Amino acid sequence: MDSDPSLRQLLTLVIGSIGLGYLLYGRKQAHAVALGCGVLLMVVPYGISHLPALVAIALLLMVLPFLLHRFLV
């Protein structure tokens, strides 16, 4: 099943924009996990072609800083 290319472009744009937000926040607050997740959120959409996997990985990367802060601090 091939996915719609416009949906893929939209998801890449949204995930990359969220990644930019995480990157800027992590740099300003010196929060290494948010910084790393931001970089990964901007890079991952270019390496994963399967949309459900892309969404799952992106959601995991978005939640990871909160989970680590909640359970490790």
Q: Look up the pTM and report it.
A: 0.88
Helices marked H in the chain = 5-29, 32-43, 51-72
Token pair for residue 9? Answer: 């472009």
Q: For residue range 1-45, what is the model confidence (pLDDT) as tens digits?
A: 457 888 999 999 999 999 999 999 999 999 999 999 999 999 999
Q: For residue range 34-63, what is the model confidence (pLDDT) as tens digits?
A: 999 999 999 999 999 899 999 999 999 999
Cα–Cα distance, 56 to 63 (Å, whole number): 11
